[in-house]
Chain A
Amino acid sequence: MTVRSGARRTGLLTLAIVALAVAACRPPIGVVEPSAGETVGPTDTPPPAAKLKPDNQTDVQIRLFRGLGPADAALLYGQALDSYRDANLTADISPPIFGYEPFAVEPAEDSVTLWVGTVSDVAPSVAAGLDLVAVGELGGRDPTVLAGLKKNLPKTLPELEGKTVSVDTAGAAESLLAAVAAAGGDPSNVMIQLPDDPSAPFDPTPVLDGTADVAAVSDYDGWARIQELVVLNGDDLKTVANRPIGDTDAPLLGELIWAQQGDVDSPSLGPAITALLGVLGQTQVACRDAVEDCASVFSSQSDRTPEGLAWSIDQVDRTIFPAPDGILHLDAASWDRTIAAMKAAGVVDVDQLAFSNDLVDAVVAAIGSQLDLTGTDWTPRTDLPLFP
């Protein structure tokens, strides 16, 4: 899916007006100029503040590994609020397209490519010859849960051996298999059902009609879709349930933002990546603080309802906040856990991937205290049920 700012200007401008009217008290979204002398973060020596608006207009290609979901709401919110334009960026958001290699990049001096995906999503980039580095978090923790008919949920993960598990994405499969391995099971004996069309929304039907035993899906989208289909069929929600697949006290990482190391180091493209992170940090905060508005914008791009999406976005926020080192900041311990878990699950090349918080820290320093980037005082919304 390519959302082109220029092509959608009229519609998005309308959305932006509505959004701004609804959320009049929301902190301003756009380009935050760095404040001299601001100190942000836990370190004694603050990182240098970034300039969040490059001098030259830059195209940013954002490649996804699945269709747009609630975790991407902030990406779209930035479109609706013209935040990319204000930051001198043009953002193209592309879901996976059948037959197109996500790591095929057209080199250009005025264009930079970023990827939004899990560690296992981007591991094949190594074989494709790319040197990717994670430059920030989009989702705070891996949201994958085991879900389905309550009677089919196994008590232990090794019981999944010989069972068929429907997954919404390949990344969910790897998370599940890592959890099976960690629980002492043999992941090679778990049968996985992958969607043929990588950009299609998760279809819960196989889980509910018994074609698949259970599903490994995100708690904020796949699990929501399972419940929504149950209600649509007039069945009792008590028939379905979910359970975390990993250690909730030591979670793995969810979706990250990736860039080529060469682009990060480039004098012309590096500032655009920083600016993009600046937009994302601000729009994630905006989406958190105006969930209904953000969901309303996103609903025009989704087959789900604004009410359901508001619930989902709040669930996404629960994976992110509080973020003591600032939004988008990658947790080193979680990174190490994730790499180790993916290796155990059989994902190759993951140990050649890298992460850096340099750009995010500079963004956090630039925004400073103008926005609540840590969400320390944020509390999950309890007034946003999936079924109002």
Chain B
Amino acid sequence: MTVTEPRAGIVQPVTLAPAREMSAIEPDLRQLAPNEGMRIDGLHAFYGSFKALNDVTLQVRPRSVTAFIGPSGCGKSTLLRSLNRMHERVPGARIQGTVELDGVDIYGPAINPVRVRRVIGMVFQKPNPFPAMSIYDNVVAGLRLSGTRNRHVLDEAVERSLTRAALWSEVKDKLRQPGTSLSGGQQQRLCIARTIAVEPEVILMDEPCSALDPRATLRIEELITELRAAFTIVIVTHNMQQAARVSDETAFFTMGDDRAGYLVEMAPTTTLFTNPTQPLTEDYVSGRFG
């Protein structure tokens, strides 16, 4: 959920024409662009007059898993939504600072936020396959909306995406069955397949296992580990063990006296959990607060 306070202009104008600056992070041109990951610099996030995030600077390394952890209300989900311009969908919400992908400021004036969200995909807490669609159609829904109609191309995308999502072997003989016929864990992997079918560069995951049982959670965690070879992944989780299991680097956030979240410490995951430099981090990872 996203929360806002004041609402002024309700409609966010969008630009349909591809912006030149955006070309550096267009999926089809990504091969030509250096994969530098994401750089967040001096980021402040607001809901109206309320500051939710205070002066965050960090680097998300390419083709790795970065975990955001911290107590409720520390702004980690707000930060996640700032990384693909979802934050601004909430009228009255805004940011200060910069967010770059491969050196391109995704908040630049010529950047189309809709195109940003295609390059920086998202997996939500609850799997939500489209109920009227088959497994096959769920995977290619985005491609079809992009105008891809060639059956051969769609078939290839389905097999490739489901294979990457570690679901192909389980569903290859029932691609015409509804996506909702799958188990909860399978549905989440189907949603991941739908996300990666359009070849994003970055995948944001907002507590992707919170609605799953332990066995399904383990399968998703294995999948995240496999996907990092091809994608840059940022995951928000309340589960410190999960962060320790799946991530290469972990950023710990907490809340200041003004209720704004801030970054306490970021380090390689093993280091952060075994040898944190900040007492607040040590208190949190050792379970003394949060």
Contact = CB atoms under 8 A, between A and B. Distances in A.
Interface of A: 1-4, 7-8, 67-68, 76, 92-95, 97-101, 103-104, 106, 120, 123-124, 127-129, 164, 166, 170, 174, 177, 187-197, 199-201, 203, 206, 211, 300-303, 345-349
A200 B124 contact: yes
A211 B2 CA distance: 12
A24 to B, nearest CB: 26
Nearest to B149: A106
Contacts of A166: 1
Given A99-B117, A99-B118, A200 B126 contact: yes
B11 A164 contact: no
A120 B145 contact: no
A7 B7 contact: no
B1 A1 contact: no
A127 B10 CA distance: 13
Q: How large is the interface on B (under 10, 10 to 19, 20 to 34, 35 or more residues)?
A: 35 or more
B1 A120 contact: no
B11 A94 contact: no
Nearest to B120: A99
B117 to A, nearest CB: 4
B5 A200 contact: no
A174 B121 contact: no
A300 B271 CA distance: 49
B1 A187 contact: no
B11 A348 contact: yes
A197 B1 contact: no
Contacts of B13: 124, 127-128
A192 B5 CA distance: 7
A164 B3 contact: yes
Given A124-B11, A127-B11, A99 B141 contact: no
A308 to B, nearest CB: 15
B11 A123 contact: yes
A197 B128 contact: yes
Contact of A106 (B10, B130, B132, B147): B147
B92 interface: yes
A-side interface mostly: loop
Interface of B: 1-14, 16, 47-48, 81, 86, 89-92, 114, 117-118, 121-122, 124, 126, 128, 130-134, 136-137, 141-142, 144-147, 176, 178, 180, 198, 206
A95 B130 contact: yes
Given A68-B132, A124-B12, A347-B10, A99 B1 contact: no
Given A2-B141, A101-B14, 9 more contacts: A93-B132, A127-B13, A191-B47, A192-B7, A192-B90, A196-B1, A196-B86, A201-B128, A300-B178
A1 B140 CA distance: 10
A128 B132 contact: no
B130 A1 contact: yes
A187 B133 contact: no
B131 to A, nearest CB: 5
A177 B6 CA distance: 11
A123 B10 CA distance: 10
A128 B206 CA distance: 29
B132 A301 contact: yes
A68 B178 CA distance: 15
List the 6 closest pairs (A to B, CB-CB), nearest first.
A1-B130, A127-B13, A99-B117, A106-B147, A188-B6, A301-B132
Contacts of A94: 141, 144-145
Given A7-B137, A94-B141, A76 B10 contact: no
A128 B137 contact: no
A8 B92 CA distance: 43
Given A124-B13, A188-B7, A196-B86, A98 B1 contact: no
Contacts of A211: 1
B90 A199 contact: no
Contacts of B206: 196
B128 A199 contact: yes
A300 B130 CA distance: 11
B16 A188 contact: no
A99 B134 contact: no
B132 A104 contact: no
Contacts of B91: 192, 346
A2 B118 contact: no
